[in-house]
Amino acid sequence: MRYPLIPVIVALAVVPAGFAYVHWTKGGSGAGLYSRHWSPDPGQGYWDPDNFYQSPNGVQGVFQGQQCIQCHEGITPGIVSDWRASRHARVQEPVDCAACHGDDHQHLRLPTPHVCGGCHEKQYGEFRDEARYGFPSHVLAMQRAVDAKHFVDKPKAEVQACIQCHSVATKCDSCHSRHRFDPAEARRPEACITCHSGPPHPDDETYFASAHGRLYLAEGNGWDWSKPLRKGNYKAPGCAYCHMEGGRHQVAHKSIWRFGLREINPHTSQNQVLRARWVALCSDCHEAVQAAQWLSDMDRERERAWDKLYAAEDLLKDLRADDGLYPAAGERPPYPMDWLDRLWPRERIGFFEGQASAFYNVSAIERDYFEMWYFDNLGAYKAAAHGDSAGVEAGHARMNGMLEKIGAQARKLRELTNAERKATGKRSAPGDLWLSGAYTEHNREHN
Ligand code: HEC
Ligand code: HEC
Ligand code: HEC
Ligand code: HEC
Ligand code: HEC
Ligand code: HEC
Ligand code: HEC
Ligand code: HEC
């Protein structure tokens, strides 16, 4: 009778201990789960002001809006003229410099979403509310970056860019450039592509290769971008037209495949709801039946892609079962604070084993698999999603090539392992060749 209570008692002790531990990990000089393992660069305050901004103290005094403008007209004339041209300067009670930055020059602030939200409740509310869709979403983006294991494990110089893109969560001037804050700018695709580009998320490349992107490139400069994103106002859609329809400050509310990281069933009732949202949007300009067909084509492309990924995964898992991966997990540096990795070193293969973070301290064949999965596959997804047919072909051609390469490497590794076992009775270990070394030590000491 007493024994069933034991797990309950253990749970009662473990849960608070778990919370206390997470709380402790967040108490360091950095931010997020690994805050005790890194410290911020001085520049970080500009990307994540709430956590890191420190006001300069060269200028002393408390100033009124007009004084700010007078002095800054000389120091930063571009900022003042942009502000003058903005709606903020032209409303009845101008939103002056101090409204966003505060009036005490030794305690300036950089306005975070919360500050803008004081006057723009609707956009701020929508922005915040996106958290309920989980990752990925703009509001959670900073958390995602600093909580990624490779963010803390790699040299700062190599990961400084992460927070610049992921700062879409910590300030409102990602799509609205300061100090103009002109919605016409935010509606154009250029507002998104500083961040939505590059091999794991080639949104810009695929969009500009699509029929929509081509039309934008040919005629977009002649369109009236001061009009809101609504039916009838634009001939072809830009990014925001499709992802922020009606000016809604959320991008995750229609996402079916999300980033494309995991295989999903696109036909669950929940996904039917999302699909209906997409079809309604496309129906601003196309027949609903046709739009639904395009989305099914995308699903079919995904099914094909996952078949290939699973084929590669099987090859790697078989090789792992035969101890053929070299160096093996226990022979390479574990991620910081990854206790499981230390106690039970295991090559993580596939999404559910945590492959998402494992892409640089791995063996060559695992790296190939990662590139197939993260670059070729995700590229093909974005091409299918955005209507870039050549991009779909190219992505699948690369995946086919990778699958073949991984197969050939696996055969070779298996042959070598078997030959070695036959000759010496065991597989040779690389010693601490990978466990120590300039790169690893430098990171541990200097992050
Ligand atoms: C007498 C001139 C003067 C006045 C008045 C003045 N500033 Fe500045 N401001 C400067 C100078 C100089 C800098 C460069 C940084 C420094 O030396 O502190 C600066 C920097 C800034 C920065 C950038 C801080 C950073 O970290 O990059 C902001 C924001 C700013 N001022 C806002 C204001 C606001 C708001 C007011 C009015 C409340 C104001 N300034 C009034 C001279 C002035
Ligand atoms: C609507 C809000 C808003 C108003 C009004 C505003 N700013 Fe800013 N300002 C910002 C934002 C947002 C940033 C970027 C903060 C960051 O990097 O995190 C910024 C940055 C700055 C900087 C840092 C330099 C830079 O661009 O990197 C200076 C200087 C500055 N503002 C001066 C001014 C002055 C002077 C005025 C008045 C003419 C003014 N600001 C009015 C929102 C505002
Ligand atoms: C003190 C209040 C206040 C703050 C703080 C403020 N705004 Fe505004 N904002 C306004 C007002 C008022 C308008 C004009 C609204 C209108 O025309 O209906 C406006 C208009 C805008 C517009 C539309 C401009 C246009 O040309 O139509 C944008 C975009 C905007 N703000 C963004 C921001 C961002 C981003 C921040 C934070 C960096 C911010 N605002 C901070 C009051 C504020
Ligand atoms: C400053 C960088 C930045 C800008 C500008 C930006 N984004 Fe993003 N966006 C991100 C990041 C980072 C993520 C991933 C967030 C995460 O990891 O949770 C993201 C995620 C997304 C997603 C994925 C949502 C999902 O559920 O899968 C969509 C869609 C999106 N953004 C659309 C846009 C559009 C449209 C624009 C322009 C109007 C834009 N973004 C501008 C950085 C940016
Ligand atoms: C060029 C801008 C950019 C840079 C630099 C960048 N990211 Fe991202 N990141 C994005 C975008 C955009 C997405 C979402 C793409 C989508 O939904 O298609 C994303 C997605 C992610 C995701 C997966 C999102 C999720 O919630 O599942 C993680 C984790 C992530 N980034 C971490 C990082 C880390 C760590 C770095 C630095 C090594 C980094 N990012 C650098 C723009 C960027
Ligand atoms: C991912 C890009 C993106 C981000 C981030 C973003 N905006 Fe916007 N914003 C837009 C677009 C696009 C429009 C134009 C919407 C339309 O046409 O209705 C817009 C319009 C606005 C407007 C004008 C609305 C109107 O009807 O005139 C305000 C105010 C505004 N944004 C405030 C904010 C605030 C506050 C934040 C931060 C919480 C923010 N924005 C972050 C893309 C963005
Ligand atoms: C014609 C409408 C359309 C345009 C224009 C468009 N997209 Fe998409 N986008 C889609 C569709 C449809 C998907 C697949 C959605 C899904 O899986 O639910 C998608 C997927 C995405 C995703 C993955 C997250 C998600 O929502 O599934 C990101 C990020 C993204 N697009 C960003 C962009 C950017 C940035 C641009 C501009 C360079 C852009 N898109 C232009 C329709 C569009
Ligand atoms: C604002 C209007 C608009 C919206 C919204 C829109 N499209 Fe289009 N779309 C166009 C135009 C215009 C063309 C080019 C037609 C041509 O070349 O004659 C086009 C072309 C296409 C094409 C190329 C094939 C063809 O018929 O030329 C595809 C595929 C497509 N759209 C899919 C979509 C999907 C899927 C959505 C919703 C996620 C969507 N579109 C939303 C206006 C739109």
Provide mean pLDDT across the span 324-332. 89
Pocket test for ligand 1, best of 62, 64, 71, 171 (most atoms within 8 A of CB): 71
Q: What is the pLDDT of residue 296?
A: 96
Residue 100 Cβ < 6 Å to ligand 3: yes
286 CA from centroid of ligand 8 (Å): 7
pLDDT at 437 over 80: no
Q: What is the pLDDT of residue 337?
A: 66
More confident residue, 171 or 27: 171
Alpha carbons 111 and 93: distance in angstroms, whole number:
19
Tell me the per-residue pLDDT of 374-395, one tens digit each, with 9 for 90 and over: 999 999 999 999 999 999 999 9
Q: Would you place residue 371 in the very low, low, confident or very high pLDDT band (cuts 50, 70, 90)?
A: very high
In sign, the C-alpha dihedral spanning 31, 34, 40, 46 is negative
Cβ contact 130:147 at 8 Å: no
Q: Would you place residue 446 in the very low, low, confident or very high pLDDT band (cuts 50, 70, 90)?
A: low
Could you give the angle at the alpha carbon of 405 between the alpha carbons of 329 and 298, nearest 5°? 95
Instruction: Report the range of poorest mean pLDDT among 137-141, 178-182, 429-433.
Output: 429-433
Residue 181 Cβ < 6 Å to ligand 3: yes
Q: What is the pLDDT of residue 23?
A: 86
Pocket test for ligand 2, best of 86, 110, 179, 180 (most atoms within 8 A of CB): 179
Alpha carbons 387 and 383: distance in angstroms, whole number:
6
Provide mean pLDDT across the span 111-123. 98
The proportion of the chain whose per-residue pLDDT surpasses 70, expressed as a percent, equals: 96
What are the structural domains of the chain? 289-446 (1.20.850.10)
pLDDT at 2 over 70: no
Q: Tell me which ligand sits closest to the C-alpha of residue 220.
A: 8
Q: Which atom of ligand 4 is nearest to the CA of 164?
A: 1
The burial of 385, by beta-carbon neighbours within 10 Å (0-12 exposed, 13-18 middle, 19 or more buried), is given as: buried
- Closest residue (by CA) to atom 17 of ligand 5? 259
Residue 139 Cβ < 6 Å to ligand 6: no
pLDDT at 80 over 90: yes
166 CA from centroid of ligand 5 (Å): 7
- Closest residue (by CA) to atom 36 of ligand 2? 97
- Closest residue (by CA) to atom 15 of ligand 6? 247
pLDDT at 68 over 80: yes
Provide mean pLDDT across the span 134-153. 91
Cα–Cα distances in Å, from 14 out to 7, 19, 337?
Answer: 10, 9, 18
Q: Tell me which ligand sits closest to the C-alpha of residue 146.
A: 5
Q: What is the pLDDT of residue 357?
A: 57
Q: Tell me which ligand sits closest to the C-alpha of residue 264.
A: 7
251 CA from centroid of ligand 3 (Å): 21
168 CA from centroid of ligand 6 (Å): 12
How does the average pLDDT of the chain come out, rounded?
A: 92
Provide mean pLDDT across the span 406-417. 96
Tell me the per-residue pLDDT of 218-229, one tens digit each, with 9 for 90 and over: 999 999 999 999
Residue 228 Cβ < 6 Å to ligand 6: yes
Provide mean pLDDT across the span 136-146. 96
243 CA from centroid of ligand 7 (Å): 6
Alpha carbons 37 and 314: distance in angstroms, whole number:
35
Tell me the per-residue pLDDT of 254-312, one tens digit each, with 9 for 90 and over: 999 999 888 999 999 999 999 999 999 999 999 999 999 999 999 999 999 999 999 99
Alpha carbons 95 and 339: distance in angstroms, whole number:
51
50 CA from centroid of ligand 7 (Å): 30
Residue recorded with tokens 């998402």: 356
- Closest residue (by CA) to atom 13 of ligand 7? 385
Q: Which atom of ligand 1 is nearest to the CA of 56?
A: 18
Residue 242 Cβ < 6 Å to ligand 8: yes
Q: What is the pLDDT of residue 15?
A: 86
The proportion of the chain whose per-residue pLDDT surpasses 90, expressed as a percent, equals: 73
Closest to 320 (Cα-Cα) out of 236, 413, 408, 202? 413
Q: What is the pLDDT of residue 1?
A: 55
Amino acid at the residue 388: D
Q: What is the pLDDT of residue 27?
A: 86
Instruction: Report the range of poorest mean pLDDT among 105-119, 131-145, 260-274, 335-349.
Output: 335-349
Residue 271 Cβ < 6 Å to ligand 7: no
Q: Would you place residue 443 in the very low, low, confident or very high pLDDT band (cuts 50, 70, 90)?
A: low
Residue 183 Cβ < 6 Å to ligand 3: yes
Alpha carbons 195 and 317: distance in angstroms, whole number:
34
Neighbours of 5 (CB within 10 A): 10
Q: What is the pLDDT of residue 242?
A: 98
- Closest residue (by CA) to atom 43 of ligand 3? 119
301 CA from centroid of ligand 8 (Å): 19
pLDDT at 338 over 80: no
153 CA from centroid of ligand 7 (Å): 31
- Closest residue (by CA) to atom 20 of ligand 7? 385
Residues with CB under 6 A from ligand 5: 135-136, 144-145, 148, 150-151, 159, 161-162, 165-166, 195-196, 198, 201, 259, 261
0.85 surpassed by pTM: yes
